[in-house]
Every structure is written in structure tokens, then in C-alpha cells.
Amino acid sequence: KNDKWFLVNEEWPHSGAKLTGGSLTDQHELICPMHAYAFNLYDGAEERGRCQSLWTVKLEANGEELWWINAIH
């Protein structure tokens, strides 16, 4: 019911490394395991502005389909 769906690029914008190993917080932030950078999934911004934003798209469930809502680059 309260699930949120996001589509993100497969690489961290600050290092180019694959997103594997990252963790997700209750505040909808994706955390880099190597540098502890926190990226907001709603707008892609790194919490302290240390690098360019993560490419992210918010998806919305409509029955059994996911709808592309907005893209942030």
C-alpha cells in the first residue's frame, strides 16, 4: 500500500561504480557503501551537494502496471 517505486541509473554519479551494495534508508535515500554519500530518490540530489545528482525516475503502480511519472537528471 505504501510502497514507493523508483528507477535509478546503475552507476553512482560520483565514482562510476555499480550501485550494488548500496542501502536504502527510511527517508528514501540511497547510500553509497564506499563513500557514505546519500542520494534522495525523489530528486536525485546528494544530501550535501558533493557531486552531481543521481538519475532517478519515480514510478507509480496502477493495477499491475508501473507508470513513469517524472525523470530527474
Is the model more confident about 34 or about 38?
38
Q: Which long-range contacts (CB under 8 A, 24 or more apart) does 62-67 make?
A: 66/5
CB 30 within 8 A of CB 44: no
Please give the pLDDT value at position 34: 84
CB 28 within 8 A of CB 40: yes
- The span from the CA of 3 to the CA of 68, in Å, is 15
Predicted confidence (pLDDT) at residue 48 exceeds the cutoff of 90: yes
Q: Read off the pLDDT of each residue in 42-66 and give the average, rounded to a whole number.
A: 81
